Amino acid sequence: MSLFQLLNGLTFAALLFVVASGFTLIFGLLRIVNLAHGALYLFGGYIGYTVAIRTGSFVLGGVGAMASIAAIGLVLDQGLLRFVRGNELRQVLLSLGAAFFLNDLALVIWGGDSFTVPIPQMLRGGMKVFGTFYPTYRLFVLVSGVVVFAALWLLLNYTRLGALIRAGVDDAEMVEASGVNIQRIFLITFLLGSALAGLGGLIGGAFLSLYPSADAEILVFSLAVVIIGGRGSLVGVGVGSLLVGLLNTLGQVMFPELAYFVIFGPMAVLLAFRPLGLFGRAT
C-alpha cells in the first residue's frame, strides 16, 4: 500500500471516527442503537451543503449541520424514543422506521442528484506530505478526526459531565440513585451524538459526496466500527475506525468491486473470539 493509499485510509478512518463516536456514545450510555444515525449523517450533509452554498461559509455550514441535526435528535429522542424506553428491540426498530422516513424526506427535499459540499478556498488544492502530493482537504479531515477524538477524550475524562457519562455507561441506575438527573445526561449525550453525525455529514459530504444511499453505506461502516470496537468505548471507536478505514481502502485497491467484503473478514474473526468487541464490556 503506497503512502497515498495509506493516507486515504486514514482520512476515511477519521471521518468514520467522527460519525461512529456519536453512535457509540448513544449506544453505550442510553443503550439505544440508533439506526437513524446514518440518516442523520446524510441530513447533516445536505443541510450543511445548503447552508454553505447560501452563506458561502464552510464553518457556518458546519454549525448549521450540527445545530439542526441536534434538533432532529431532540425530536427523535423526546418525541418518539421516549415512548419505548427500556425496550432495546423496540427502540432499534423504531429508529429504523425513523431512518426510512428521514431518508425519504431527504429525497423529497434535495432530490436524487449527488451533491458535493464546497471546500473553502484555503483547503483547496494539495500539499506535499513525505514526498507525496496529497489533497489538503483530506488532511484537514484527518486533523478534524484527531481534534474530535481529543475533545471527546477531554470531555469524558476531565469534566463533570464526562464523569457522569462514564458512570452512566457502567451503571445508569446507580448514578440516578446518587441524586443525578440521569435523564438530562441522557438527553445531552443524545444531542451530542446526533450533532457529531451532522458534523460527519458535512465533512464527509465534501469528499465522498452526498447521495440518497450514502446514509446506508455510512451506517454499515459505523456498525462495523462499533461491532469491532465494542460499545461505549472511545478508544474502541478509534481502533475500530482505523481498522475499518484502512481495510476498506486496502479492499478498494485490491478488489474494487468487493471492497465491502473486506470489512467482513475481521468482523467475523473478532466475533468468534470477542462477541462484545475489542473494548466492549458485558453489563
Partner 1 sequence: MTTPFSPNPSRLAGMTGRAAIVACLVVVVAACLPLLLSNYQVGLATEVLIFGILAMSVDILAGFAGRTSLGHGAIFGVSTYVVVYCTAQIALPPAVAFTLGVLAATAIASVFALLAVRTSGVYFLLLTLALGMIIWGICLRWTQVTGGENGMRGDVRPAMLLSHSAFYWAVLAGAAVVSFLMWRFVRSPFGLTLRGIRDSESRMRSLGYNVPLHLFIGFTVSGFFAAIAGALYAMFNNFVSPSTVALAQSVEGVLMMIVGGVGTLFGAFVGAAAIIALENVVSAYTERWQMVLGITFVLIMIFAPEGIIGKLRAILSRKVR
Query: Rounded to an integer, what distance in angstroms lies between the CA atom of residue 92 and that of residue 84?
Result: 10
Q: Helix, strand, or coil here: 210?
A: strand
Judged by CB under 8 A, does residue 282 bind partner 1?
Answer: no
Nearest approach in angstroms of CB 217 to partner 1 is 7
Helix residue ranges, H only, the chain: 3-30, 37-55, 58-74, 88-110, 136-158, 160-177, 182-205, 214-229, 234-254, 259-262, 264-273
**Residue 274 CB, nearest approach to partner 1 (Å):** 9
Q: How far apart are CA 88 and CA 71, in angstroms?
A: 23
- Rounded (5°) CA angle 234-249-35: 50
**Can you tell me which of 129, 147, 216, 254 binds partner 1, judged by CB under 8 A?**
216
- With contact defined as beta carbons under 8 Å apart, do 198 and 49 qualify? no
Cell of 58: 464552510
Binding region for partner 1 (CB under 8 A) out of 104-112, 113-121, 143-151, 190-198? 104-112
Among 1, 109, 147, 271, binds partner 1 (CB under 8 A): 271
Residue 75 touches partner 1, criterion: CB under 8 A? no
Answer for the pair 164, 34: CB distance below 8 angstroms, yes or no.
Answer: no
* Interface segment toward partner 1; rule CB under 8 A; list 10-18, 59-67, 105-113, 132-140: 105-113
Q: For the window 12-31, what string marks contact with partner 1 as x by the rule CB under 8 A?
A: -------------------x
Residue pair 76/95 in contact (Cβ under 8 Å)? The answer is yes
Q: Does 96 bind partner 1 (CB under 8 A)?
A: yes
Of the candidate residues 34, 103, 194, 249, the single one contacting partner 1 (CB under 8 A)? 103
| Residues contributing to the site for partner 1 (CB under 8 A) | 31, 33, 35, 80, 83-84, 87-90, 92-94, 96-105, 107-108, 213, 216-217, 219-220, 223-224, 226-227, 256-261, 263-264, 267-268, 271-272, 275-276
